[in-house]
């Protein structure tokens, strides 16, 4: 009987659907294996920094020895106090009562986190002055091996600390100014010597050529490379036949025009009548030597050259000046404002020994016999004399060497930035028996501000 009941029970179980059987068993197993999921934690606000924290925040260590622990989600997040900004008062800012007083008080240092709010950037404009210096011994040779400790620079009788010193060579930007109003014999020497100019320069230099007689002319049309094939052609255009300097007779039977053609004088400069006078008296025409205008034209071209180049005007002339529209003071101020030095080779009467000293005495209502020497002395250049054709050619090389091998000093002026006033410069050397050649002063410009 028991066997029959057992068989009936098994048949009943087999009659059930397999899907329902599997779903029941799976649900039971999943209910037994699923863990209990707790509620997600509430976001916690960061704890504010301690009030006794000193110094900046160190990476990996924080801002101090502070302990952090879990906070209750019921507590509201703490607000971090905003940093206070304390700008230095005028009484706390260190000031210099005297121009030579050394600053002793340290500058104001803002607290951590207050730099942006409490510090104000101050920009002070100053004039940086560059002074090229040539040093020669008693024999006229260049002196090498000096340091900044051997020099002292004074501006308006006040010593200035040397902020820049170098003996490196600078590329040259040279504007040659050639006088075409020379006599024919002197002009012939100058024409033959122009071929030696290119040999005194390097590929890093650049040249421009100007000529003058009755007005200045730019022969090169701008600057060109010193070793380019264009330079010899430009120099050939600067050659001239010169002038015949005859001795005019302005009184007596020999005055007036002695050689006539078709009733008129061959030379219109001595034509009788009008401004030249009558048949018994002749007004001697004045010579025209526009040296000031020529130097000014060359200086305007040089003022466009970039920084880092030595600006030089090289004049080949006897130094005579008459008939220029620009005055000496106007041209000199332009040179001293644009840091241009004037060098020159004196030819003709100005090349004689002692002529430079005699020419300093100027007679009223007459031309300046040698104004070139004044330009050279004021701008820190160097003169040389003719001494024949060989001397002219050697002077090109000597002056180019002196301009290239100079000591360059720099300092920051204590004067106002731009006041339009002339500032006198004096360079002294600690050693004796040496000659120091430098510019006598300058006018400040916006180009010198830093």
The reported pLDDT for the residue numbered 5 is 55
Residue 427: band (very low, low, confident or very high) from pLDDT cuts 50, 70, 90 = very high
Indicate the SS3 state at residue 212.
Answer: strand
pLDDT at 415 over 50: yes
Query: What average pLDDT score do residues 49-71 get?
Result: 50
Measured CA to CA, the distance from residue 211 to residue 176 in angstroms comes to 8
Measured CA to CA, the distance from residue 373 to residue 427 in angstroms comes to 20
CB 153 within 8 A of CB 425: yes
Q: Distance of CA 276 to CAs 173, 214, 255, 269, Å?
A: 44, 19, 11, 7
pLDDT, tens digit, 9 for 90 and up, residues 23-33: 445 555 455 55
The reported pLDDT for the residue numbered 394 is 85
pLDDT, tens digit, 9 for 90 and up, residues 303-345: 999 888 899 999 999 888 888 999 999 999 999 999 999 999 8
pLDDT at 88 over 50: no
- Beta-strand runs (E) in 180-309: 206-212, 216-218, 224-225, 260-261, 264-265
Q: Which residues neighbour 18 within 8 Å (Cβ) at sequence distance 6 or greater? A: none
First-to-last C-alpha distance (Å) of the chain: 121
Measured CA to CA, the distance from residue 450 to residue 448 in angstroms comes to 7
pLDDT at 115 over 50: no
Range scoring the smallest mean pLDDT among 123-132, 265-274, 353-362: 353-362
Nearest Cα neighbor of 206 from 282, 104, 111, 306 is 306
Cα angle, residue 152 at apex, residues 405 and 421 outer, rounded to 5°: 95
pLDDT, tens digit, 9 for 90 and up, residues 129-188: 999 999 998 888 899 989 999 999 999 999 999 999 998 888 899 999 999 988 888 899
Which residue did the predictor score with more confidence, 333 or 53?
Answer: 333
Q: Distance of CA 17 to CAs 8, 11, 13, Å?
A: 17, 12, 9
Query: In the chain, pLDDT over 90 holds for what percent of residues?
Result: 27
Nearest Cα neighbor of 401 from 222, 226, 165, 199 is 199
The reported pLDDT for the residue numbered 419 is 79
CB 45 within 8 A of CB 72: no
């Amino acid at each position: 009987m028991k066997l029959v009941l057992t068989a009936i029970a098994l048949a009943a179980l087999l009659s059930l659907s397999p899907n329902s059987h599997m779903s029941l068993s799976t649900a039971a197993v999943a209910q037994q294996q699923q863990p209990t999921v707790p509620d997600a934690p509430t976001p916690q606000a960061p704890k504010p920094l301690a009030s006794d924290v000193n110094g900046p925040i160190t990476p990996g260590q924080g801002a101090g020895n502070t302990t952090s622990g879990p906070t209750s989600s019921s507590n509201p997040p703490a607000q971090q106090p905003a940093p206070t900004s304390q700008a230095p008062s005028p009484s706390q800012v260190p000031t210099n009562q005297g121009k030579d007083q050394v600053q002793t008080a340290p500058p104001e240092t803002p607290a951590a986190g207050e730099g942006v709010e409490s510090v104000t950037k101050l920009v002070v404009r100053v004039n940086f002055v560059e002074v090229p210096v040539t040093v020669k011994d008693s024999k006229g040779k260049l002196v090498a091996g000096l340091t900044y400790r051997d020099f002292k620079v004074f501006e308006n009788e006040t010593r200035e600390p040397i902020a820049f010193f170098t003996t490196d060579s600078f590329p040259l930007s040279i504007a040659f100014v050639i006088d075409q109003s020379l006599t024919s014999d002197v002009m012939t020497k100058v024409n033959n010597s122009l071929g030696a100019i290119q040999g005194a320069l390097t590929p890093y230099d650049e040249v421009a050529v100007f000529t003058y007689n009755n007005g200045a002319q730019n022969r090169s049309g701008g600057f060109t490379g010193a070793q380019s094939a264009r330079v010899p052609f430009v120099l050939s255009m600067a050659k001239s036949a010169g002038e015949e300097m005859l001795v005019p007779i302005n009184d007596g039977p020999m005055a007036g025009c002695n050689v006539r053609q078709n009733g008129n004088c061959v030379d219109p400069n001595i034509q009788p009548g009008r401004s030249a006078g009558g048949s018994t008296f002749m007004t001697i025409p004045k010579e025209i030597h526009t040296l000031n205008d020529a130097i000014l034209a060359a200086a305007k071209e040089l003022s466009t050259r970039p920084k880092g180049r030595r600006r030089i005007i090289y004049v080949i002339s006897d130094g005579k000046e008459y008939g220029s529209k620009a005055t000496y003071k106007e041209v000199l101020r332009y040179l001293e404002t644009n840091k241009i030095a004037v060098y020159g080779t004196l030819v003709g009467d100005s090349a004689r020994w002692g002529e430079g000293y005699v020419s300093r005495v100027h007679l009223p209502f007459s031309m300046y016999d040698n104004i070139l020497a004044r330009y050279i002395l004021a701008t820190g250049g160097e003169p040389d004399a003719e001494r024949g054709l060989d001397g002219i050619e050697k002077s090109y090389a000597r002056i180019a060497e002196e301009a290239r091998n100079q000591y360059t000093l720099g300092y920051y002026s204590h004067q106002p930035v731009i006041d339009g006033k002339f500032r006198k410069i004096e360079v002294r050397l600690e050693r004796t028996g040496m000659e120091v050649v430098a510019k006598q002063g300058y006018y400040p410009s916006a180009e010198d501000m830093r």
